[in-house]
Amino acid sequence: MAKGPADAGLDTFKTLVFDPLVKGVIEKITASAGWLSFGPVAFIVSKLVTAIANALYDKLKLVINFQYIALLNEKHHKAYVEANTELRLIAKSQGINSPYFLEAREKRKKALALFVRSTLE
């Protein structure tokens, strides 16, 4: 699977929080019933719980990446709308030949580039 924009932070979260939490759950499960802590059974329980937890984590990571992309897209869209509104106001008040208009147009171009880039990622 391709890397998402939030994967760096999520990988750190998995290492520092999620994996120790899964180990704690495995310890609780094996301690709850004496026969679950027996050699091969404990190994199978450990592998099964780890596999289920990792599958759930992968799904969660996918959801978080989509939400992160949506938030970035919304942020860049808002910046573009604000830059476009500013450009229109300057065009009406200062005219399209003013240096303020040219500066606002460059700002709008940059905001549009960020917005388009965020929708394509």
Q: What's the pLDDT tens digit per position in 47-103?
A: 999 999 999 998 988 888 888 878 878 888 898 999 999 999 998 998 888 888 888
Cβ atoms 76, 115 nearer than 8 A: yes
Cβ count near 15 (within 10 Å): 10
Q: Which comes out higher in pLDDT, residue 100 or 7?
A: 100
Cβ neighbours for 1, distance < 8 A, ≥ 6 positions apart: 58, 62
Cβ atoms 11, 62 nearer than 8 A: no
Overall pTM > 0.75: no
Q: Which comes out higher in pLDDT, residue 24 or 39?
A: 24
Cβ atoms 24, 33 nearer than 8 A: no
Average pLDDT, the chain: 85
Q: What is the pLDDT of residue 57?
A: 92
